[in-house]
Amino acid sequence: MSDGDCRDNLIASSLPLFAAKGLNGVSVRELAAAAGVNLSMISYYFGGKEGLYAAVLTDQFAILGKLDELVQRETDTLRKFELYVRATVTRYRKNPYLLRFYTSELTNPTASFETIIKPAIKNVVQTLLDAFADALSHEDFRADLDPADTVLALAGMINFYFLLEPATAELVDHSPERDEELVRHIMDIFTRGVLK
């Protein structure tokens, strides 16, 4: 195995294992075997299992395009929110393990929560709050809405859809072919509501 392959192999093949079982659910032996690498390499390159986990997490978040820049560049206020929803769907499709790390860290936080996950989430929420303030100043939205409740509601609609998939796959069609329709429905409810 040539130089550096070891490190990259470990990160790549640890990703699905950490995502599926969590930090404490996998052993270094399992991780090394999946990478086809000697288990001592984990300590050598990452200083231990937690170091590898942090590297996998850092890697996941580095891949992500800057959602906030994308949203901020858009001028039409309502389209900012649509852009957020659409970009979130694209992210989760391109990166099927990302949401698992988010929710796993939210529920059973490790040391990486404060350093990686929490700042990332706060950043997105703040971007949405800014977009909301923007929308209010342009008088696009009703003035009686609470900013936080509103943006968390939108974020919840799209994120929860993906989170529930393992439980509702037999009840609801979660296939990527329906993504465009999903985005349309969510934006429709967000803007106009469900009533006639």
Partner DNA sequence: GTCTATATTGCGATAGAC
Partner DNA sequence: GTCTATCGCAATATAGAC
Cα-flanking dihedrals φ and ψ of residue 110, to 5°?
-105, -170
Which H/E stretch holds residue 126? helix 118-137
> What does DSSP assign to residue 108?
S
- Taking the complex as a whole, the smallest distance from the CB of residue 130 to DNA amounts, in Å, to 41
Q: How many C-beta neighbours within 10 Å does residue 125 have?
A: 14
80 binds, among a second copy, DNA, none (CB under 5 to 8 A by kind): none
Q: Which stretch binds a second copy (CB under 8 A): 17-25, 30-38, 43-51, 59-67?
A: 17-25
As a whole number of angstroms, the distance between CA 108 and CA 191 comes to: 34
Going by C-alpha positions, the residue among 26, 166, 157, 151 that lies closest to residue 96 is 166
26 touches DNA (CB under 7 A): yes
CB 127 within 8 A of CB 68: yes
Please say which residue, 1 or 148, places its beta carbon nearer to a second copy: 148
Q: Which of 17, 42, 83, 120 binds DNA (CB under 7 A)?
A: 42
Please say which residue, 29 or 185, places its beta carbon nearer to DNA: 29
Q: Which of 40, 63, 153, 180 binds a second copy (CB under 8 A)?
A: 153
Q: Which of 24, 38, 43, 115 binds a second copy (CB under 8 A)?
A: 24
Q: Which of 14, 88, 104, 127 binds a second copy (CB under 8 A)?
A: 104
Q: Which of 2, 3, 171, 177 binds a second copy (CB under 8 A)?
A: 171
As a whole number of angstroms, the distance between CA 4 and CA 96 comes to: 25
Site for a second copy, rule CB under 8 A: 20-22, 24-25, 78, 100, 103-104, 106-109, 113, 117-118, 121-122, 125-126, 129, 135, 139-142, 145-146, 148-150, 152-153, 155-161, 163-164, 166-168, 170-173, 181-182, 185-186, 188-196
